[in-house]
Amino acid sequence: MSTMYSKRVAIPHSTHAPVPNATRVGKAADDRTIRVSVILKRRTALDVASLAGRQMSREEYAANYGASQQEFDAVCAFARASGLTVDATASSLLRRRVELRGSISAINQAFGVELNDYEPGGAGTGGTGSGGEEPGRAAPPGAQHGRARFHAIVGPVTLPEELVGSIEAVLGLDNRPIATPKFRVRRGAASSPDAGSFTPPQVAQVYHFPAAPTGSSNGAGQTIAIIELGGGYHPADIANYFSNTVGIAAPTVTDVILDGGSNDPTTASSADAEVLLDIEVAGAVAPGANIVVYFTSNTDQGFQDAISTAIHDATHNPSVISISWGGPESSWSRTAINAMDTTCQSAAALGITITVASGDNGSSDGTKGTSVDFPASSPHVLGCGGTALTAKTGQRASEVVWNDQASGGGATGGGVSAVFPLPTWQANARVPAVGAGGRGVPDVAGDAAPDTGYQVLVDGQAQVVGGTSAVAPLWAGLIALLNQQLNRKVGFLNPQLYPLRETTFFDITSGDNGAFAAQAGWDACTGLGSPNGQALLTALRAVVATASAPSKP
């Protein structure tokens, strides 16, 4: 390494905790080549709240909020001096990303770390990582099957002092599976759905979505981005599902492949169920919208890259991003959380809504205490919780918090973030004062119970699938409809939703997710409630009209 650099210091919050639920195999081979992403800070700080709902153009964002060219060049120079290769094609000033490749020996020296190889499982490893299988759900790709071995570090990441102030995170030093898909297959169900389940258009009808999918107002002109960290789909499944199950034209579906991800369908018991659930729910609710699926690796590096790519994809130009993957806040490094959240800030500034499943393991989120799921806990996304919905003749009959844990099933995630402080727009939401008091999760809800779940087609098999994974694409489809009806992007919805009248939502007041109980108004199980779509459209139309009205002299 070049000696032109001063003393080394740790990147703030970069310390990686001991690897949970894994056994150390040994030191990673020095000559193995890996890829590392250095995420730079913005050249100008971005204060989303100060925008007060204003949405930037891509041109304005690019001119002000990418990385500094000087700092970008400095990191590239350091990398080359350290024997690393800069991937110019994958690097981006706009996305604040410097993509590096090199041997593990060179990576260790450049970042002051020691990479070790691990395998999932092992006695005495403890923790709550993304490992085990859950009832009614396939193990996530790479968790216990597939790519079993992974590399990781313990301790901080260090760099020369003059570089640290410009760097937000270094991703790729830990490529353990970071997230699980938030779907639940109905247990013991026959292959043919029964009357307790729904097609997505039936759920849309119950929730009074503002346009029938067969009508002219069907999300046309919008693009829904879907992030997938595993699994895949057969185009024939999509064609058959829309033709035979819901009886409408199939949406246009496009794949974008990133970071070693792939559209790799295998079996109906795999993460394929997640991919098909996302596409079929969003597509059936808003079949006029284009759907773009961003397939990436199940790592914090791949996850961040997929969200960043979707946000800045000027070719497909998504107006809403649906995410049904995540993990407990405690399973993430703080720098990875920060990098993901600042990426979500970019979406908020550009008027792109991000809907995220809040988790399927109740108030514990699979930990020993209470925890919320990330990225649902980011204050720049719309966290989506789950309910158990029943309907008669297309009308909502009853709705309670989804919680099947007493019978060995799942429950909607929800609670209070231990990372993000209480946002101003939740100041009057009566978020419980847990710990230091933080951002309450979720923001909204929708049908998620497997017993009242969604009829989907996965690898040729008809299934009924629930989980909060279904709610994120359901809300994404609704937002595509709202955008079309309003002739503008609703964008970062959270500050707009909390002041609205309670009649904008179907308030859920019965049930709990473990530590938290439903109540009138917002709660840490179902947020503000399930959508009353037409009422939400009317309310947002009034917000748009007020914002567009000329100011009085």
Read off the CATH number of the domain in which 201 is found: 3.40.50.200
Of residues 546 and 271, the one with the higher pLDDT is: 271
- Regarding whether 44 and 118 lie in a shared domain, the answer is yes
> Token match 């970008």: residue?
72
User: How confident is the model over 480-500, as a mean pLDDT?
Assistant: 96
280 is catalytic: no
Of 159-168, 207-216, 272-281, 537-546, which range is least confident?
A: 207-216
Give the confidence band of 215 by pLDDT, cuts at 50, 70, 90: low
For residue 242, the Cα-to-chain-centroid distance in whole angstroms is 25
Total domains in the fold of the chain: 2
Per annotation, catalytic residue among 278, 305, 373, 443: 278
- Per residue in 340-367, pLDDT (tens digit) is 999 999 999 999 999 999 999 999 999 9
In-domain check, residue 3:
no
Q: Would you state the pLDDT for residue 124?
A: 34
Per annotation, catalytic residue among 280, 469, 523, 530: 469
- Regarding whether 408 and 360 lie in a shared domain, the answer is yes
User: How confident is the model over 232-242, as a mean pLDDT?
Assistant: 97
In-domain check, residue 247:
yes
| Domain termination site, one of 148, 171, 194 | 171
In-domain check, residue 553:
no
Distance CA(349)–CA(308), nearest Å, equals 13
User: How confident is the model over 290-314, as a mean pLDDT?
Assistant: 97
Q: What is the DSSP string of 136-166?
A: TSPPPBTTTBSS--EEE--B--EEEHHHHTT
Give the confidence band of 193 by pLDDT, cuts at 50, 70, 90: low
59 is catalytic: no
- Regarding whether 279 and 427 lie in a shared domain, the answer is yes
In-domain check, residue 1:
no
- Per residue in 240-286, pLDDT (tens digit) is 999 999 999 999 999 999 998 999 999 999 999 999 999 999 999 99
Q: Would you state the pLDDT for residue 137?
A: 43
- Per residue in 140-152, pLDDT (tens digit) is 443 333 458 999 9
Report percent pLDDT > 90 for the chain: 86
In-domain check, residue 466:
yes
| Domain termination site, one of 171, 188, 219 | 171
- Regarding whether 246 and 166 lie in a shared domain, the answer is no
- Regarding whether 392 and 316 lie in a shared domain, the answer is yes
| Domain termination site, one of 171, 191, 221 | 171
Q: Does residue 34 contact residue 99 with C-beta atoms inside 8 Å?
A: no
Distance CA(10)–CA(12), nearest Å, equals 6
- Regarding whether 441 and 335 lie in a shared domain, the answer is yes
> Does the pLDDT value for residue 64 go beyond 50?
yes
- Regarding whether 64 and 201 lie in a shared domain, the answer is no
In-domain check, residue 552:
no
In-domain check, residue 348:
yes
- Regarding whether 506 and 421 lie in a shared domain, the answer is yes
Kindly report the length of the chain.
553
The radius of gyration of the chain from alpha carbons, rounded to an integer in Å, stands at 22
- Regarding whether 184 and 156 lie in a shared domain, the answer is no
- Regarding whether 211 and 107 lie in a shared domain, the answer is no
> Does the pLDDT value for residue 192 go beyond 80?
no
- Regarding whether 295 and 205 lie in a shared domain, the answer is yes
Q: Would you state the pLDDT for residue 503?
A: 87
Q: Would you state the pLDDT for residue 547?
A: 58
Give the confidence band of 434 by pLDDT, cuts at 50, 70, 90: confident
In-domain check, residue 342:
yes
Q: For residue 425, give its domain range.
A: 180-545
Distance CA(355)–CA(416), nearest Å, equals 18
Per annotation, catalytic residue among 117, 274, 305, 360: 274
- Regarding whether 284 and 203 lie in a shared domain, the answer is yes
Q: Would you state the pLDDT for residue 479?
A: 98
> Does the pLDDT value for residue 122 go beyond 70?
no
Q: Does residue 340 contact residue 299 with C-beta atoms inside 8 Å?
A: no
Give the confidence band of 21 by pLDDT, cuts at 50, 70, 90: confident
Q: In the numeric block, which tokens belong to residue 351?
A: 């008027």
Of 368, 468, 363, nearest to 417 (Cα)? 363
Give the confidence band of 435 by pLDDT, cuts at 50, 70, 90: confident
Q: In the numeric block, which tokens belong to residue 35?
A: 């890829």
